[in-house]
Amino acid sequence: MTPVTERTPVPLPPGVSQERVHGTEALVVDTPAARAVLHLDGAHLTSWAPAGAQDVLWLSELSEYGDGAAIRGGIPLVGPWFGPGRDGERPVKHGWIRNHPWELTAASFDGDDVVLELALEGADPDGTGIRADAVFRIGADLSVDLTLTAGSEEIEAEAALHTYLAVGDVREIEIRGLQGGDYLDNTRDLEQFRQEEPVLRLSGATDRVYGINAEVVIEDVAGARRIVLSPRGTAKTVVWNPWSQSAAEMADMPDDAWTDFVCVEPAVAKDAAQVLPPGGALTLGVTYRVER
């Protein structure tokens, strides 16, 4: 992992502390509005619970931490490519920004929300000078914004916020907001289909990239709540759950844990990848809120 340059620590506002969580450095938020845990490795948010509510993010109890590990759960930051990249040959799935320690650059209160800003630079294995910046606004709602900025060379960039949402039972959820969207089905060799139904109900392994960039609602029937996803700067919406067979093949996930989450993630990926000139930037973001 790239060593972190020693700099003057950023002052932390009341309700925010830096602690070791699962053996690695993390920012712990505990305010009247919300509780959250943000790991510096990967700028990876692993927990967010608005006041009086259960955690909205799912985290595997078998996840690995530190030493370049990709945490299983929470909100992995994906980039500068998605999956194996558009050429299918990238060596690190979903890019390298989630496999390096980030630096906290600012921490403040804005009303009842905690705002944490982090940056990653000098970690690009290709040496092109790509920089990544992330802003987390943590309160009754959760907002996450990710920016990738090209260095000295033109790059083709993809990015996503690979959110694992905790649900009562994935077999009982209803996902709304995808009707009329064309999607690539990764369980069927990326064949293209169209979502004609107003509601998506999962009944098996699901890995779809929808051409949708609008609000999506997850009706968590068993969990008795509704999770609303409002994206910005995005082009795609990815829906993923491994189901039983694939989950059993994952060493960092309990065999039966697939029922406890669904990934619904805003993305700029596939044919929506952006070509960034030197110094050009790609920014995408999302806000989550919980309704009952």
Catalytic residues: 162, 265
User: Around Cβ 101, how many Cβ atoms within 10 Å?
Assistant: 20
Distance CA 207, CA 168 (A): 20
Distance CA 136, CA 105 (A): 12
- Beta 44-50 vs 191-194: how paired, if at all? unpaired
Q: Which residues pair with 218 in a beta bridge?
A: 175, 227
Which residue in 41, 44, 26, 38 sits closest to 101, CA to CA?
A: 41
Tokens of 224: 């008795």
Burial class (CB in 10 A: 0-12, 13-18, 19+), 72: buried
Question: Is residue 24 within 8 Å of 41, Cβ to Cβ?
Answer: yes
- Beta 103-110 vs 113-120: how paired, if at all? antiparallel
